[in-house]
């Protein structure tokens, strides 16, 4: 099958029922998206499919063909980070950071839809993402910073 | 499963939460150091001051250093790069950053010229592990002295070079400077051509916290950019050439015995390697789908153990299955006569507190990659104890530790839950058969089932108090939960404090703060109830009975910043708690609200924390925050459910951990004691949250919630 990931077409020989997360990580070496639960409950595997935040661990690769997939690796352009990641950098939000890629992809999708979300909207959009280190208040701060005009 | 796993994985964390250092004293060849690091200047920290730097004016090498005596070492290369070798590992607490700050401060070099080499058993000195909040007070202190010694040595070398007195020389930004002539020479140039090795003196002067320029500041996480852009390679992300993906067959329930297994189908799948060795059955395949398919094709017969307690019978089970009182550290104390103290009391109060088993849930599950080359095993694994895993591998594979290298890339958290080396053993066993590297990453279900838990327990407290607030008796017996923070911090003449071990039906081990969250919960709930009995303000009652000024300070600070004396809104309750653990002092206040349907909402938390001189204020605040948030889970809703030897909520949709919507307003007050040595902060900050919330609920409703978690359904109804 052919997958459009981060603006490039990738030919992959794999059963279409294999999880997109597995294809990204094991076949395309895009290991920024993480496994955390395998049931779409923690958000660590979040990627954008046609702009929508999607749990790649419960999305079969076959359903993602002919769609635009963006992973954490696709955010950086010409060695420049987008404002969302810059906001996280200056907030120094995370501890172990394993949840960071999934968090950031969810934020990217949120801010695209709602450039100035209030706290309730942020919590609603982010509630599917777990940070077991408990850095939520700093993540919230980074999102508020990224959302500033 | 009755110790079954303990024999497989010999290290049982709570039995020796601070295991003694290894006793090996083979001579350490200084060539080994230089072989690893290249030429230059090396300062090795040793426990004993084998060769006093002060007496060693020729700067000659020390004759020999026993390897078991080296805790960390610092190397300065001819490029001026400073390499710090330590057995500590980065689990997410940002010690890579704080330890770098300490070295930068003392050695007077920029952070960018410091490289931390951590948790690689071939490169770093033995270390028991990264736990117990010991990195900052112990490793931090050692590196501070090592860096100060290196700085002195560099001044001495420069003095020789310039034929001047060392007293007229200073250091700044990676160079020695002659304060008179203004001549300057970089560390790299000074180290170039040297093969110098020295030990540190305990008396080397170090920079006081009030004069810190790099330490004491909120330096951002080192390599943060790699982490937030998905470039950091965790073990679960690793891929070696030709690597296979491994899966292990699990028993249907704890204590099951393998009777028979038909491996024929699995063996016939192209590319699949199948291993059966005792009760271990595992497969490895070129991709995870094939490995999973191969595993599912195995028809195994198990004999399951019949009798198992469940989480609804566990507390009685723990009381009825004692395994003896603990001895040594954390074993408890007895003073005076508790019975007499109870008869002297105006009020007596006896309560049993129950603590459920909970899981660490590191977001990166256990993972390992193992590779055998010429009989030598290398295992990359996310563990808090690389040397412990090395020992486990040596035992399991009956081989010499020197042929085993364990490497720990910065891992996706641990919280005390990654002390053991299961995946390393499993990957190594499969890799040995496959003759190829093998990666094993546990599923969330495996992590929930086959790792270990924070122990469940029962804590019986019986206390007496006089009307004026004097404690007359304190009896505190902890069954199975553990001995950390067991003793009361309040003045009492008659007390009996003990920890009794039970035969745990679940595999149990370390957790953030060990048993401190449970013991402090029981103690602080009980103190609040006593205050209520004598109608004394809970804050005043605590302060009356406390002796430790540092504890009183955090308690007052929390109360003041919270507004303890401010009147409450209707249906709101205020609660307070305090405690001390592993060098950290914590005072916590909580406000809760009871809704019409008896649903409890946590409105806000104020927590004051003090652990000596602060090395990195933001990272400290982040640790305290993380403890509060993780503490909320254990306080309110986290509990392992089990029956018939199975875990019933082994997924993140069934086992609830705190999420964004669970977070109340949290105010953290850090008290910076520049006059006191820095202590660790990853654990103590978790102990105040549960009792503060419980006492707030009691305040609002008069209902005593004496079991953790308190509100599995979010409501009192």
Q: State pLDDT tens for residues A123-141.
A: 999 999 999 999 999 999 9
The residue length of chain B stands at 717
The region of weakest confidence among B61-70, B231-240, B491-500, B553-562 is B61-70
The region of weakest confidence among B93-102, B163-172, B189-198, B522-531 is B189-198
Give the CATH number of domain B27-228; options: 3.40.50.150, 3.30.365.10, 3.30.460.10, 3.40.50.970: 3.30.365.10
Residues A52 and A98 in one domain: no
Residue-wise pLDDT for B161-215, tens only, equals 999 999 999 999 999 999 999 999 999 999 887 777 777 767 888 999 999 999 9
Query: Of A73, A106, A133, which residue sits at a domain end?
Result: A73
- Judged on CB neighbours under 10 Å (0-12, 13-18, 19+), B327 is exposed
Any A CB within 8 A of B665 CB: no
Banded model confidence at residue B66, pLDDT cuts 50, 70, 90: low
Q: Write down the pLDDT at residue B193.
A: 77
Residues A92 and A56 in one domain: no
Size of interface A-B (CB pairs under 8 A): 167
What integer is the mean pLDDT of B42-62? 42
In a domain, A78, yes or no: no
Residue pair B356/B532 in contact (Cβ under 8 Å)? The answer is: no
Banded model confidence at residue A149, pLDDT cuts 50, 70, 90: low
Residues A138 and A89 in one domain: yes
Any B CB within 8 A of A136 CB: yes
> Which CATH number covers residue A115?
1.10.150.120
The region of weakest confidence among B456-460, B581-585, B665-669, B679-683 is B679-683
Asked if the Cβ–Cβ distance from B288 to A26 is below 8 Å, we say: yes
Asked if the Cβ–Cβ distance from A35 to B653 is below 8 Å, we say: no
Residue-wise pLDDT for A99-116, tens only, equals 999 999 999 999 999 999
Tabulate helix, strand, coil % of chain B (nearest 5).
Answer: 30, 25, 45
Any B CB within 8 A of A60 CB: no
Contact residues, chain B, for A134 at CB < 8 Å: 625-630, 658
Contact residues, chain B, for A98 at CB < 8 Å: 92, 234, 363-364, 412-413
Question: Would you say residue B13 has pLDDT above 70?
Answer: no
Most confident by average pLDDT, B62-71, B119-128, B372-381: B372-381
Q: Write down the pLDDT at residue B29.
A: 58
Question: Would you say residue B15 has pLDDT above 60?
Answer: no
In a domain, A99, yes or no: yes
In a domain, A101, yes or no: yes
Tally of domains in chain A: 2
Query: H helices of B578-684, where?
Result: 617-636
Q: Write down the pLDDT at residue A50.
A: 98
Any B CB within 8 A of A74 CB: no
Question: Would you say residue B665 has pLDDT above 70?
Answer: yes
Residues forming a β-bridge with B460: B352, B477
**Crossing angle (nearest 10°) for helices A100-113 and A83-91:** 130
What integer is the mean pLDDT of A89-100? 98
The region of weakest confidence among A63-67, B121-125, B304-308, B424-428 is B121-125
For the record, the structure tokens of B412 come out as: 């996706």
Q: What are phi and psi of B477, to 5 degrees?
A: -115, 120
Residues A14 and A36 in one domain: yes
Query: H helices of B405-498, where?
Result: 422-434, 444-450
Query: Of A16, A47, A73, which residue sits at a domain end?
Result: A73
Lookup result for tokens 């699949």: B272
Q: Is the dihedral of CA B410, B33, B60, B83 positive or negative?
A: negative
Question: Would you say residue B63 has pLDDT above 60?
Answer: no
Banded model confidence at residue B137, pLDDT cuts 50, 70, 90: confident
Q: Which residues touch B5 (CB under 8 Å, ≥6 apart)?
A: B450, B452, B507
Question: Can you tell me the distance from the alpha carbon of B458 to that of B500, in angstroms, rounded to the nearest whole number?
Answer: 10
Q: Write down the pLDDT at residue B314.
A: 98
Question: Would you say residue B24 has pLDDT above 60?
Answer: no
Contact residues, chain B, for A85 at CB < 8 Å: 228-229
Q: Write down the pLDDT at residue B16.
A: 35
Count CB atoms within 10 A of the CB of residue B329.
Answer: 11
* Contacts of B203-212 spanning 24+ positions with Cβ under 8 A: B203/B54, B204/B53, B204/B145, B204/B148, B204/B149, B204/B152, B205/B148, B206/B106, B206/B144, B206/B145, B206/B148, B207/B105, B207/B106, B207/B148, B208/B674, B209/B613, B209/B674, B209/B675, B209/B678, B210/B674, B212/B105, B212/B613
Which residue segment(s) compose the domain that A91 sits in? 83-147
Count CB atoms within 10 A of the CB of residue B258.
Answer: 16
For the record, the structure tokens of B635 come out as: 């306080």
Residues A69 and A6 in one domain: yes
Question: Can you tell me the distance from the alpha carbon of B694 to that of B698, in angstroms, rounded to the nearest whole number?
Answer: 6
Question: Would you say residue B326 has pLDDT above 70?
Answer: no
Contact residues, chain A, for B657 at CB < 8 Å: 130, 132
Question: Would you say residue B31 has pLDDT above 90?
Answer: no
Measured CA distances, B276 to B204, B259, B264, B385, B696 (Å): 57, 12, 12, 28, 55
What integer is the mean pLDDT of B472-487? 96
At B84 the three-state DSSP class reads strand
Q: Which of A15, A97, A122, A146 to mutate to test the interface with B (most CBs of B within 10 A)?
A: A97
pTM beyond 0.90, yes or no:
yes
Q: Chain B window 524-553: which residues touch A at a Cβ cutoff of 8 Å?
A: none
Q: What are phi and psi of B430, to 5 degrees?
A: -70, -40
Question: Would you say residue A142 has pLDDT above 80?
Answer: yes
Q: What are phi and psi of B301, to 5 degrees?
A: -110, 130
Residue-wise pLDDT for B602-657, tens only, equals 999 999 999 999 999 999 999 999 999 999 999 999 999 999 999 999 999 999 99
CATH number of B314-358+453-708: 3.30.365.10
Q: Write down the pLDDT at residue B131.
A: 87
Residues A91 and A49 in one domain: no
Lookup result for tokens 């949709």: B653
What's the CATH class of domain B235-304+366-441?
Answer: alpha beta
A68-70/A46-49 β-pairing: antiparallel
Residues A40 and A15 in one domain: yes
Residue-wise pLDDT for B172-184, tens only, equals 999 999 999 999 9
Q: In terms of CA atoms, which chain A residue is nearest residue B410? A: A96
DSSP-derived letter for residue B712 is T
> Which CATH number covers residue A29?
3.10.20.30
Ranges for all domains in chain B classified under CATH 3.30.365.10: 27-228, 235-304+366-441, 314-358+453-708
At B546 the three-state DSSP class reads strand
Measured CA distances, B179 to B109, B156, B184, B602 (Å): 18, 14, 9, 59
Residues A52 and A10 in one domain: yes
Contact residues, chain B, for A77 at CB < 8 Å: none
Residues A11 and A66 in one domain: yes
Q: Is the dihedral of CA A30, A35, A40, A46 positive or negative?
A: negative
Residue pair B381/B424 in contact (Cβ under 8 Å)? The answer is: yes
Question: Can you tell me the distance from the alpha carbon of B371 to that of B434, in angstroms, rounded to the nearest whole number?
Answer: 10
Residues A50 and A108 in one domain: no
Contact residues, chain A, for B409 at CB < 8 Å: none
Residues A6 and A49 in one domain: yes
Tell me how close the Cα of A89 comes to any Cα of chain B, in angstroms: 7
Asked if the Cβ–Cβ distance from A72 to B225 is below 8 Å, we say: no
What integer is the mean pLDDT of B247-253? 98
Question: Would you say residue A148 has pLDDT above 80?
Answer: no
The region of weakest confidence among B56-60, B103-107, B590-594 is B56-60
- Looking at the predicted complex, does its ipTM rise above 0.90? yes
In a domain, A122, yes or no: yes
Q: Write down the pLDDT at residue B20.
A: 34
């Amino acid at each position: 099958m052919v997958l459009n990931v981060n603006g490039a077409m990738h030919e992959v020989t794999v059963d279409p029922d294999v999880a997109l997360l597995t294809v990204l990580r094991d076949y395309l070496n895009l290991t920024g998206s993480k496994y955390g639960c395998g049931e779409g409950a923690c958000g660590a595997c979040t990627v954008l499919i046609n702009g929508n935040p999607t749990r790649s661990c419960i999305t079969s690769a076959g359903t993602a063909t002919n769609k635009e997939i963006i992973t954490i690796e696709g955010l950086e352009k010409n060695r420049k980070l987008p404002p969302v990641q810059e906001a996280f950098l200056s907030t120094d939000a995370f501890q172990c950071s394993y949840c960071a890629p999934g968090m950031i992809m969810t934020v990217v999708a949120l801010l695209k839809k709602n450039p100035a979300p209030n706290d309730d909207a942020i919590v609603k959009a982010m509630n599917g993402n777990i940070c077991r280190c408990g850095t939520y208040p700093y993540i919230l701060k980074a999102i508020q910073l990224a959302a500033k005009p | 499963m009755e110790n079954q796993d303990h024999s497989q994985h010999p290290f049982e964390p709570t039995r020796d939460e601070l295991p003694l250092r290894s006793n090996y004293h083979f001579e350490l060849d200084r060539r080994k150091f230089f072989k690893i690091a290249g030429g230059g200047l090396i300062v090795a920290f040793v426990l004993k001051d084998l060769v006093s730097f002060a007496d060693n004016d020729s700067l000659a090498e020390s004759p020999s250093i026993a390897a078991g005596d080296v805790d960390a070492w610092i190397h300065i290369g001819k490029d001026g790069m400073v390499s710090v070798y330590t057995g500590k590992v980065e689990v997410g607490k940002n010690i890579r950053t704080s330890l770098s700050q300490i070295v930068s401060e003392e050695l007077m070099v920029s952070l960018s010229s410091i490289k931390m080499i951590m948790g690689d058993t071939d490169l770093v000195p033995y270390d028991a592990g990264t736990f117990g909040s010991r990195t900052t007070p112990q490793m931090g202190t050692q590196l501070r002295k090592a860096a100060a010694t290196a700085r002195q040595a560099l001044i001495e070398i420069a003095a020789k070079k310039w034929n001047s007195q060392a007293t007229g020389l200073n250091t700044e930004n990676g160079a020695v400077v002659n304060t008179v002539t203004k001549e300057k020479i970089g560390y790299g140039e000074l180290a170039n051509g040297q093969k110098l090795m020295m030990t540190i003196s305990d008396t080397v002067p170090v920079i006081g916290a009030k004069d810190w320029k790099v330490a004491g500041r909120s330096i951002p996480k080192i390599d943060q950019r790699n982490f937030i852009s998905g470039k950091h390679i965790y073990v679960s992300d690793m891929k070696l050439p030709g690597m296979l993906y491994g899966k292990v067959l699990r028993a249907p329930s704890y204590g099951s015995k393998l009777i028979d297994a038909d491996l024929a189908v699995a063996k016939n799948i192209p590319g699949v390697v199948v291993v059966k060795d005792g009760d271990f059955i595992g497969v490895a395949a070129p991709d995870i789908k094939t490995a999973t398919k191969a595993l599912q094709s195995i028809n195994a017969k198990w004999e399951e153990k019949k009798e198992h307690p469940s989480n609804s019978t566990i507390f009685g089970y723990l009381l009825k299955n004692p395994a003896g009182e603990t001895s040594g550290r954390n074993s408890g104390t007895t003073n005076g006569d508790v019975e007499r103290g109870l008869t002297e009391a105006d009020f007596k109060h006896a309560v049993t507190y129950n603590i459920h088993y909970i899981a660490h849930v590191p977001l990166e599950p256990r993972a390992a990659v193992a590779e055998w080359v010429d009989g030598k095993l290398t295992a990359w694994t996310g563990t808090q104890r690389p040397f412990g895993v090395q020992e486990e591998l040596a035992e399991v594979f009956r081989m010499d530790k020197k042929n085993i290298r364990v490497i720990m890339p910065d891992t996706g958290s641990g919280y005390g839950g990654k002390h053991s080396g299961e995946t390393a053993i499993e990957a190594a066993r499969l890799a040995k058969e496959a003759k190829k590297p093998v990666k094993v990453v546990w599923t969330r279900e495996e992590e929930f089932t086959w790792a270990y838990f924070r122990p469940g327990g029962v804590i019986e407290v019986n206390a007496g108090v006089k009307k004026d607030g004097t404690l007359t008796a304190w009896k505190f017996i902890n069954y199975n939960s553990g001995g950390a923070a067991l003793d009361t911090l309040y003045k009492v003449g008659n007390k009996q404090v003990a920890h009794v071990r039970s035969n745990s039906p679940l595999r149990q081990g370390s957790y953030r703060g060990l048993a401190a969250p449970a013991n402090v919960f029981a103690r602080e709930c009980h103190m609040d109830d006593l205050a209520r009995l004598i109608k004394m303000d809970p804050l005043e009652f605590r302060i009356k009975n406390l002796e430790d000024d540092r504890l009183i300070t955090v308690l007052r600070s929390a109360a003041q910043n919270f507004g303890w004396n401010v009147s409450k809104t209707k249906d709101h309750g205020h609660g307070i708690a305090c405690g001390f653990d592993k060098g950290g002092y914590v005072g916590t206040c909580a406000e809760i609200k009871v809704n019409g349907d008896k649903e409890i909402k946590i409105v806000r938390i104020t927590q004051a924390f003090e652990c000596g001189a602060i090395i990195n204020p933001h990272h400290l605040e982040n640790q305290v925050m993380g403890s509060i948030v993780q503490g909320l889970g254990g306080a309110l809703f986290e509990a392992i459910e089990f029956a018939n030897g199975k875990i019933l909520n082994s997924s993140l949709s069934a086992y609830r951990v705190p999420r964004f919507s669970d977070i109340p307003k949290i105010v953290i007050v850090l008290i910076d004691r520049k006059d006191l040595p820095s202590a660790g902060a990853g654990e103590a900050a978790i102990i105040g949250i549960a009792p503060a919330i419980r006492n707030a609920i009691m305040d609002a409703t008069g209902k005593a919630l004496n079991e953790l978690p308190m509100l599995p359904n979010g409501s009192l109804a």
